[in-house]
Chains A and B, each alone.
Chain A
């Protein structure tokens, strides 16, 4: 079984400060991992994904995440927050396609990021 834990339901940072959103996963097989962003009243947009290639993954809008197997983590970072980054962020896990299990995403509870001037 797979699961995702996002530490911190709300994170607040100053504009220009580092953004760090935490995600830990549990999986019996090497997983695929994803970060999605959801702006108010909109659907989910993929920020980045890890699919067993490079462990440091760069995504859109200056975000990146590092897969650390030893820590079962996939934390999302951005060096300098913008006001436009205020949104809800979801970490998700799925079994890899080769295992025949790529049929659904398991999401964390989400982290709401606030950016203040």
Chain B
């Protein structure tokens, strides 16, 4: 079956621009996560959505980062006024029972 998909696969943006990254989870998965993978910080949790509950935003690094999940399915991670330190691979995962399934990631490069 279809796995978690993310778009775009690569994004190059200029410093100061806003970007939106999209995640399509596996159908029927109620939990959705965003992680960031960067050279200096490894794999970091960003935000977690579970059904209609308030999201756990405890991993967002600054108020320039936000995410939403519409209709309990697709999620968008938005980074405003991008900085060079935002360059990383952004991974999305969805969960059924005990296992998180990861998408291929979006590689963001801020120039």
- Chain B residues near A103 (CB-CB < 8 A): 48, 50, 56
Q: Footprint of B on A, CB under 8 Å?
A: 32, 36, 41-46, 49, 51, 90, 92, 97, 102-110
Q: For the complex, count residues of B whose C-beta is within 8 A of A.
A: 21
- Chain B residues near A107 (CB-CB < 8 A): 42-44
A49 to B98 Cα, complex, angstroms: 9
A106 to B44 Cα, complex, angstroms: 7
- Determine whether the beta carbon of A104 is less than 8 Å from that of B103: no
- Determine whether the beta carbon of A44 is less than 8 Å from that of B98: no
Q: Which of B62-104 contact A (CB under 8 A)?
A: 91, 93, 98-104
- Determine whether the beta carbon of B102 is less than 8 Å from that of A43: yes
Q: Footprint of A on B, CB under 8 Å?
A: 4, 33, 35, 42-45, 48, 50, 56, 59, 91, 93, 98-105
- Chain B residues near A102 (CB-CB < 8 A): 98
- Determine whether the beta carbon of A104 is less than 8 Å from that of B42: no
In the assembled complex, the CB of A43 is this many whole angstroms from the nearest CB of chain B, namely 4
With A107-B43, A109-B42 as contacts: A51 and B104 at CB distance below 8 Å: no
- Chain B residues near A45 (CB-CB < 8 A): 102
With A44-B91, A97-B98 as contacts: A105 and B45 at CB distance below 8 Å: yes
With A90-B43, A109-B42 as contacts: A43 and B105 at CB distance below 8 Å: yes
29 inter-chain pairs at a CB distance below 8 angstroms, sorted by A residue, are: A32-B98, A36-B102, A41-B104, A42-B104, A43-B91, A43-B102, A43-B103, A43-B105, A44-B91, A44-B93, A44-B102, A45-B102, A46-B99, A46-B101, A92-B43, A102-B98, A103-B48, A103-B50, A103-B56, A104-B33, A104-B45, A104-B48, A104-B59, A105-B35, A105-B45, A105-B100, A108-B42, A110-B42, A110-B43
